[in-house]
Structure 1
């Protein structure tokens, strides 16, 4: 029977090793064997289980609910992400940056970046925009902590095998979302660098030989689509991301 290290499983399944450890230790979702040296060893059944866990999480199920589903229990899922949103809002209201950083890091370890960004972080940022009394301070606090965490994640991803790319915001002022999209790409084996300031006029010739992702945060206009096609015809490795 073939056995795999946690690094091999992480690469094969597209899951961060830190997340796999969290799924095992905190949620009891995995039970890998141990080598004589104490290292985790996974077999093909473990990989199948990981893929099943991923499918549940990718479909919008918080990781804390997955074990019950795997065991055939009937649970209510509608409010699961809302609970995490409320937890994050609660930490924000304490106005304690260190506690907020810990909460974000914990959620980042336990949930895939895509699911966490789409189901928790973006909705919380939207909720803060509706709260005029304290929204500006809380939103700024959250954004700073998110960028800090994403920068940490990007540094770690650059130490691994992957493809180098530059992420550029094209006409969108939401810098925090840009960093969140960089995190999303880093989970797809991209070693991402971020051009922190958005550009109204993009000149790819300033970045010769680099693979470039463009993020606008909205549907590309016909003019933008034509411009990207023109750059590609000129030989630039440039692609829209998440539009």
Structure 2
């Protein structure tokens, strides 16, 4: 029987080792074997279980409800992520920075980043981004905590083996969304740096030899696509990220 270390499983399944530990310790979803030295070892059945956990979470089930499903119970898929949205919103409304930072860090360890961004954080920001002054203030409060945590994650990712890249926002106004996309790319093996502000006019030639992602938040306009093609024809390593 082949056994795998937690690092091997993390790379194979695309899951952060911290997340795997949380799934085991906090939720009892995994029961890896241990070496004499106390190191976790996983077999092929464990890997299949991890992939099943991922599928449930990515379909909208909160990590706290996955165990019941694995054991044959019934849980509404939509309820899980909606409940997580409400949980985070309740912490935002407390207006306690330390509590919000802790909540975001906990979610970042327990929920796949793509799921957290697309099905939890973006909907929350949309709900808070209304014209009412209080909602806009709370959205700014949340954004500050998100950027703080993502900066921590990006710094950690740069210490690992990976591919270096620079992320630029192109014609967008949402600076926090740019940080969220940098976080997403870091989960795909990229060691990401990003320009602090989105720009209307890019100068990728100022960064020769670097791979560059551009993010516009929507389908590129014909003019943007023509400009991107022109840069690529000049030999720049530049691609569109996202939509």
Tell me the TM-score normalized by structure 2: 0.97
- Show the counterpart of 1:166: 166
- How many residues align? The count is 243
Is contact 2:63-2:111 (8 Å) kept?
yes
In structure 2, the gaps of 5 or more residues are none
Q: Equivalent residue for 2:79?
A: 79
Residues 168-209 of structure 1: per-residue CA shift (max 9 Å, x gap): 000112111100000001110111011111111111110000
2:166 partner SS: strand
Identify if the C-alpha distance between structure 1 residues 112 and 242 changes in structure 2 by more than 3 Å, giving closer, same or farther: same
Deviation at 1:131, TM superposition (A): 6.1
Equivalent residue number for residue 15 of structure 1: 15
Q: Could you give the per-residue CA deviations for residues 41-78 of structure 1, whole angstroms, max 9, x where no partner exists?
A: 11111111111211222222222222222222122222
- Is it true that 1:212 corresponds to 2:226 in the alignment? no
Question: d(CA) in 2 for partners of 1:234 and 1:65?
Answer: 51
C-alpha distance in 1, partners of 2:131/2:104? Answer: 21
Q: Is the 8 A contact 2:168 2:194 kept in 1?
A: yes
Give, in whole Å, the separation in 2 of the partners of 1:99 and 1:233.
Answer: 49
SS of residue matched to 1:166: strand
Classify the secondary structure of the residue corresponding to 1:183.
helix
Is the contact made by 2:170 and 2:200 (CA closer than 8 Å) also made in structure 1?
A: yes
Let me know the Cα RMSD of the aligned residues.
1.1
Q: Which runs of 5+ in 1 are unaligned?
A: none
- The aligned counterpart of 2:4 is 4
Aligned pairs (5 A) from 1:36-185: 36-130=36-130, 132-185=132-185
TM-score, length-normalised on structure 1? 0.97
Look up the SS of the partner of 1:20 in the other structure. Answer: helix
Give the deviation of 1:128 after TM superposition. Answer: 0.7
